[in-house]
Structure 1
Amino acid sequence: MRRPSWVPEGTDLDKPNAARVYDYYLGGSHNFEVDREMARKAIGLWPELPQIMRSNRAFLRRAVTYLAERGVTRFLDIGSGIPTFGAVHEIARTIRPESKVVYVDRDPVAVAHSRLLLEGDPASAVVQADLRDLDDLLAHPEVVELVAAGEPVAVLLVAVAHFVSDDEDPWKLIGVLRDALPPGSALVLSHASLEGRPDQAEDHQKLYRMTPTPLTMRTREQITAMFAGFELVEPGVVYLPQWRPDQPHTVGEHPERMAGVAGVGIRS
């Protein structure tokens, strides 16, 4: 197929990519038929996947808006995928035009796409790094510059920590991140929850075991513990649609069906 202008040279157009599949779930246009085919197979096993992904992205939008309205202008988006269709820099700059964003992803395809899309944007940077190797992640010049000014930084771990196994200790990793942040910084986190759909939890995890990124769903108590050292913003750790909804009716009758919880915490 002909390579679109947003696709870097050398990209394999015949192999699905998780970041482009996610873009498809969101209703975006930065995906190929091979990605859509993979998404359709996943939806066949888990019909609510697109709604869950969109609910997760809606939480990100509300959380970034909340923090930008309170003066935060520095954002570190870890596990960002491809920053399209309501990306952090677009949301933040509608409120704080001076906002700086560093996008971090370990997937070289997502990073290459992101760098091409953000070419010419001096206030956005893209770093290839892994949450599980924080020595490397925090040493990147773009990340050092973001944190060094001493201004509050919002770290986004949106649908990321559930890809870190218990053996890799996401609680410890988040603690290291917290200690590297200036006072007043924030943690924005969403996570697949066991409580939301206990009848389907094992099937969901089996689905992801067939991919390079297996999923570990956790209890709300385990997820809340990830905010150690942060003061939770009301309403705390709740189902995705329940976190500061734009309108009460947008929560729906069964927010637990979104199979994930989310929260925002502020570092003292």
Structure 2
Amino acid sequence: GVDKVELYKLQPRTANVLTLVENCRENTLSLLHDARYSQYRTPFGAVTEGSPIHLAFQVMGGKPLSAVLNLYGENFKAVYPMVHSGNMFSVDFKVPKKPGAMWYNFKITNADGSRWLCPDGSGYLGQVFKREHGSFRLTVYKKDFETPDWAKSSVMYQIFPDRFALSDDDTAKKGIEYHINLGQTPELHDSTLEPPRHLPRVFEDNYSPDDFYGGTLKGIAEKLPYIKSLGVNLIYLNPICEARSNHRYDTSDYKKVDPILGTNEDFEELCYKAEKLGIRII
């Protein structure tokens, strides 16, 4: 609504800046996809197997010629052409009839080649990249799945096993030795008062989260009466299977408890004691 002819007479510098901004908007590709909002993703969140879904992005700047949606998962890959209407590109499709973790991103073609709309660090907000740079998560779950009744009214207590409770034995120390014998470089803190390591060591280019405080499954079992006294009836454990890191999301053996935490028998004993107190464990 600005009359630039009149603006040039009154404020030539402002008029020049406005012209530059408009030119930049016309020639620089700027796209918006926010997985939290219905105009870009419907339905929100996880979807049931075989259900329809709508995905879209908005053109904020530039002149994209065409776009496709890349959808993939385990043993699955599909490319869907997108429909251009006004300042929106959209696509409607049905997710596979199989539950699992799916991923998607957008490939855009414009006058100077291809660009990808992928998530930024948030995981839900899109950012334009010159090459494929990750994907948005889309969880597909069983159509007939229902949350168990016992979970709906449970009071849950989440535990990060390495930092919760130590046991009065050498379980953690032996576990550290086990990992060292595998050629890894774990470290066991001498005290829980020591700050966690967060920087690379002299022999590392990047930080490795393999410093441990020595929490064990036996330690958790000893704290069950205290947890029960809080009114808790469900414990959610962070990963406990064998792994190199202290968070153990990089599991190497899903059938074996990490030796720093204890043994499979220790886990069975923890579950047995928790059940006697009316506490479930995930």
TM range (shorter): under 0.3
> Which TM-score applies when normalising by structure 1?
0.25
Greater relative contact order, per chain length (Cα 8 Å cut-off, separation 6+): 1
Structure whose alpha-carbon radius of gyration is higher: 2
